[in-house]
Amino acid sequence: MPGKLKAKIVAGRHLPVMDRASDLTDAFVEVKFGNTTFKTDVYPKSLNPQWNSEWFKFEVDDEDLQDEPLQITVLDHDTYSANDAIGKVYIDIDPLLSSEAATVISGWFPIYDTIHGIRGEINVLVKVDLFNDLNRFRQSSCGVKFFCTTSIPRCYRAVMVHGFVEELVVNEDPEYQWIDRIRTPRASNEARQRLISLMSGELQRKIGLKVLEMGGNAVVGYLQCFDLEGESGLVVRAIGTACTLDKISNTYAPASAINPCNSSPSKDTKDSPQAVPSALGCRSTHSSPVHSASSRLSQGFSVSVPTLLFAGMGSGGSAGKEAGPLKALLRQQTQSALEQREFPFFTLTSFPAGFLLHVGGVVSARSVKLLDRIHNPALGNTRSYKLLDWNSFTADEPETRDAWWEEIRQEIKSHAKALGCHAVVGYSESTSICEEVCILSASGTAAVLSSRFMQDGALDMDHRFEDLAPPGCGFCHIPYDELNMPFPAQLTYCHCCRRFKVPDVLFTTIDLPTEANVTGKGCLIQARLCRTKKKAQGEGNATAISNLLPFLEYELHTQLMNKLKLRSMNALFGLRIQISIGENMLLGLASATGVYLTPLPSPGGIQIAGKTPSDITYEQHISNMQKKINDTIAKNKELYEVNPPELVEEVIGSPIPEPRQRSRLFRSHSESSDEVSELDLSHGKKDAFVLEIDDTDAVEDIHSLLTDAPTPPGFYSCNTEIMPGIYNWTSALQMFTSVRVFRLSNVNLTNQGLNKVFNDLCENLLKSLYFKLRSMVPCCLCHLNFTVAVPEDELIQVAVTAVAMSFDKEQTLENGRQSCDKTLMKAITENEEQLQFPLELTAESSSNPLSSAKGLSEVSGALPSARAPSVDYSSFTDRCSSWIEQLRLKAHTIRRGSIKTMSSLEKASPLPEGRSRSLRSNRSYAGGSVAVVKMTPLSFIPGTKIIKYLGIINMFFIRETTSLREEGGVSGFLHSFIAEVFAMVRAHVAALGGNAVVSYSMKECVFMENPNKNQAQCLINVSGDAVIFVRESELEATPPQPQSASTQTSSSGEGT
Amino acid sequence: MSVELDVFVGNTTIMDKEVYQLWLNGYTVNDAVKVRIEGGVMEECEASAEVLLSDTMDQFRTFQMCERLLQNPAKLANQLLFQIPPDRQAMLIERYYAFDDAFVREVLGKKLSKGTKKDLDDVSAKTGITLKSCRRQFDNFKRVFKVVEELKGPLVENIKQHFLLPDQLARDYAAIVFFANNRFETGKKKLQYLTFQDFAFCAGQLINYWTVGAVDNMVEDMDVDLDKEFLQDLKDLKILITDKDLLDQHKSLVCVALRGKTKVFNEMEANFKNLSRGLVNIAAKLTNTKDVRDFFIDLVEKFIEPCKSDKWTSTDVNLYLTHYTNSAHILDTFKHQTVWTRYMGVIKSCILRMYHE
What's the complex ipTM? 0.88
Instruction: Look at B61 and A735 and tell me if their CB atoms are within 8 Å.
Output: no
Are the CB atoms for A1052 and A245 separated by under 8 Å?
Answer: yes
Are the CB atoms for A896 and A902 separated by under 8 Å?
Answer: no
Are the CB atoms for A32 and A56 separated by under 8 Å?
Answer: no
For chain B, the domains span: 17-83, 101-210, 228-354
In chain B, residues with a C-beta closer than 8 Å to the C-beta of A740 are: 3, 5-7
Residue B163 has pLDDT above 90, yes or no: yes
Instruction: Look at B10 and A736 and tell me if their CB atoms are within 8 Å.
Output: yes
Question: Which ranges of A773-924 does DSSP label H, i.e. alpha helix?
Answer: 813-830, 832-847, 850-858, 869-875, 880-908, 913-918
Q: What is the pLDDT of residue A327?
A: 43
Query: Which chain B residues have any C-beta within 8 angstroms of a chain A C-beta?
Result: 1-14, 45-48, 50-52, 54-55, 57-58, 61-62, 64-65, 75, 77-83, 85-86
Residue B33 has pLDDT above 90, yes or no: yes
In chain B, residues with a C-beta closer than 8 Å to the C-beta of A982 are: 9, 11, 83
Mean of the pLDDT values across residues A445-464?
Answer: 62
Give Cα A762 to chain centroid, integer Å: 21
Task: State pLDDT tens for residues B237-285.
Answer: 888 888 888 888 888 888 888 888 888 888 888 888 888 889 999 988 8
- DSSP states of B159-220: HHHHH---HHHHHHHHHHHHHHHHT----SGGGTT--HHHHHHHHHHHHHHHBGGGT-TTSB
Q: What is the largest CA-CA distance in chain B?
A: 91
Instruction: Look at B11 and A971 and tell me if their CB atoms are within 8 Å.
Output: no
In chain A, residues with a C-beta closer than 8 Å to the C-beta of B33 are: none
Strands A282-292 and A356-370: parallel
Name the strand (E) or helix (H) holding A504: none
Which chain A residue has the Cα nearest residue B46? A712
The CA distance from A814 to the nearest CA of chain B, in Å, is 29
* Residue A423 Ramachandran class (φ > 0 left, ψ -120 to 50 alpha, else beta): beta
The CA distance from B116 to the nearest CA of chain A, in Å, is 26
Q: Could you give the CA distance from residue A431 to residue B301 in angstroms, rounded to a whole number?
A: 83
Q: What is the pLDDT of residue A318?
A: 29
Q: What is the pLDDT of residue A454?
A: 67
Mean of the pLDDT values across residues A267-289?
Answer: 37
Residue A450 has pLDDT above 50, yes or no: yes
The CA distance from B141 to the nearest CA of chain A, in Å, is 22
In chain B, residues with a C-beta closer than 8 Å to the C-beta of A767 are: 47-48, 51
Q: Could you give the CA distance from residue A1028 to residue A909 in angstroms, rounded to a whole number?
A: 15
Nearest to B46 among A712, A933, A934 (CB): A712
Which of B9, B36, B41 to mutate against chain A (most A CBs within 10 Å)?
Answer: B9
For helices B86-97 and B167-182, give the axis angle rounded to 10 degrees: 30
Segment of A311-320, A323-332, A941-950, B36-45 carrying the highest mean pLDDT: A941-950
Task: State pLDDT tens for residues A116-162.
Answer: 999 999 999 999 887 765 554 456 667 788 999 998 888 888 888 88
Instruction: Look at A929 and B61 and tell me if their CB atoms are within 8 Å.
Output: no
Are the CB atoms for A257 and A458 separated by under 8 Å?
Answer: no
Q: Could you give the CA distance from residue B173 to residue B149 in angstroms, rounded to a whole number?
A: 12
Nearest to B77 among A734, A736, A929 (CB): A929
Are the CB atoms for B24 and A763 separated by under 8 Å?
Answer: no
The CA distance from A801 to the nearest CA of chain B, in Å, is 10
CB–CB contacts below 8 A, A to B: 133
In chain A, residues with a C-beta closer than 8 Å to the C-beta of B61 are: 968, 971-972, 975
In chain A, residues with a C-beta closer than 8 Å to the C-beta of B1 are: 742-745, 757
Nearest to B47 among A737, A771, A929 (CB): A771
The CA distance from B36 to the nearest CA of chain A, in Å, is 13
Residue A1056 has pLDDT above 50, yes or no: no
Instruction: Look at A110 and B14 and tell me if their CB atoms are within 8 Å.
Output: no
Residue with the larger pLDDT of the pair A108 and A471:
A108
Q: Could you give the CA distance from residue B16 to residue B10 in angstroms, rounded to a whole number?
A: 13
Task: State pLDDT tens for residues A906-964.
Answer: 333 333 333 333 333 333 333 346 788 999 999 999 888 898 899 899 999 999 999 99
Burial class (CB within 10 angstroms; exposed 0-12, middle 13-18, buried 19+) of B290:
exposed
Which of A121, A755, A768, A1009 to mutate against chain B (most B CBs within 10 Å)?
Answer: A768
In chain A, residues with a C-beta closer than 8 Å to the C-beta of B40 are: none
Which chain A residue has the Cα nearest residue B14? A772
Mean of the pLDDT values across residues A624-646?
Answer: 78
Instruction: Look at B51 and A932 and tell me if their CB atoms are within 8 Å.
Output: no
Burial class (CB within 10 angstroms; exposed 0-12, middle 13-18, buried 19+) of A849:
exposed
In chain B, residues with a C-beta closer than 8 Å to the C-beta of A773 are: 14
The CA distance from B132 to the nearest CA of chain A, in Å, is 18
In chain B, residues with a C-beta closer than 8 Å to the C-beta of A974 are: 5, 7
Instruction: Look at A971 and B5 and tell me if their CB atoms are within 8 Å.
Output: yes
CA nearest neighbour of A568 among A519, A529, A609: A519
Nearest to B80 among A110, A712, A736 (CB): A110
The CA distance from B80 to the nearest CA of chain A, in Å, is 6
In chain A, residues with a C-beta closer than 8 Å to the C-beta of B11 are: 734-736, 933-935, 982, 986
Task: State pLDDT tens for residues A411-430.
Answer: 898 888 888 888 899 999 99
**Inter-residue long-range contacts of B153-156, CB under 8 Å, 24+ positions, other chains counted:** B153/B217, B153/B218, B153/B222, B154/B213, B154/B217, B154/B222, B154/B223, B155/B207, B155/B213, B155/B222, B155/B223, B155/B224, B156/B207, B156/B223
Mean of the pLDDT values across residues A325-341?
Answer: 50
The CA distance from A966 to the nearest CA of chain B, in Å, is 12
Nearest to B9 among A110, A744, A982 (CB): A982
Residue A295 has pLDDT above 50, yes or no: no
Instruction: Look at B65 and A978 and tell me if their CB atoms are within 8 Å.
Output: no
Q: What is the pLDDT of residue A377?
A: 43
Q: What is the pLDDT of residue B219?
A: 62
Task: State pLDDT tens for residues A59-78.
Answer: 887 778 888 889 999 999 98
Nearest to A743 among B2, B11, B14 (CB): B2
pTM of the model: 0.80
Q: What is the pLDDT of residue A619?
A: 75
Are the CB atoms for A235 and A401 separated by under 8 Å?
Answer: yes
Q: Is B126 helix (H, G, I), strand (E, B) or coil?
A: helix
Are the CB atoms for A505 and A673 separated by under 8 Å?
Answer: yes
Which chain B residue has the Cα nearest residue A988? B80
Letter for the amino acid at B24?
Answer: L
Which chain A residue has the Cα nearest residue B80? A983
Q: What is the mean pLDDT of chain B?
A: 88
The CA distance from B52 to the nearest CA of chain A, in Å, is 8
Instruction: Look at B9 and A774 and tell me if their CB atoms are within 8 Å.
Output: no
Q: What is the pLDDT of residue A837?
A: 35
In chain B, residues with a C-beta closer than 8 Å to the C-beta of A1005 are: none
Question: Which ranges of A1-83 does DSSP label H, i.e. alpha helix?
Answer: 62-67
Q: What is the largest CA-CA distance in chain A?
A: 101
For helices B29-39 and B17-24, give the axis angle rounded to 10 degrees: 140
Give Cα B356 to chain centroid, integer Å: 17
Tell me the C-alpha to C-alpha distance, in Å, between residue A457 and each of A460, A893, B353: 7, 34, 90
Nearest to A121 among B1, B3, B80 (CB): B80
In chain B, residues with a C-beta closer than 8 Å to the C-beta of A13 are: 78
Are the CB atoms for B190 and B301 separated by under 8 Å?
Answer: yes
Q: Could you give the CA distance from residue B341 to residue B279 in angstroms, rounded to a whole number?
A: 13
Instruction: Look at A738 and B4 and tell me if their CB atoms are within 8 Å.
Output: no
Q: What is the mean pLDDT of chain A?
A: 71
Mean of the pLDDT values across residues A234-246?
Answer: 90
Q: Is A490 helix (H, G, I), strand (E, B) or coil?
A: coil
Residue A517 has pLDDT above 50, yes or no: yes
Instruction: Look at A982 and B83 and tell me if their CB atoms are within 8 Å.
Output: yes
Burial class (CB within 10 angstroms; exposed 0-12, middle 13-18, buried 19+) of A115:
middle
Task: State pLDDT tens for residues A217-226.
Answer: 899 999 999 8
- DSSP states of A132-150: P---TT-S--TT-EE---S
In chain B, residues with a C-beta closer than 8 Å to the C-beta of A975 are: 7, 9, 58, 61-62, 65
Name the strand (E) or helix (H) holding A751: helix A751-772
Residue A395 has pLDDT above 70, yes or no: no
Residue A461 has pLDDT above 70, yes or no: no
Question: Which ranges of A567-615 does DSSP label H, i.e. alpha helix?
Answer: none
Which of A777, A982, A1022 to mutate against chain B (most B CBs within 10 Å)?
Answer: A982
Lowest-confidence pick of A401-405, A406-410, A486-490, A499-503: A486-490
Which of B2, B3, B7 to mutate against chain A (most A CBs within 10 Å)?
Answer: B7
Instruction: Look at A769 and B54 and tell me if their CB atoms are within 8 Å.
Output: no
Model confidence at B348, pLDDT cuts 50, 70, 90, reads very high
Residue B133 has pLDDT above 70, yes or no: yes
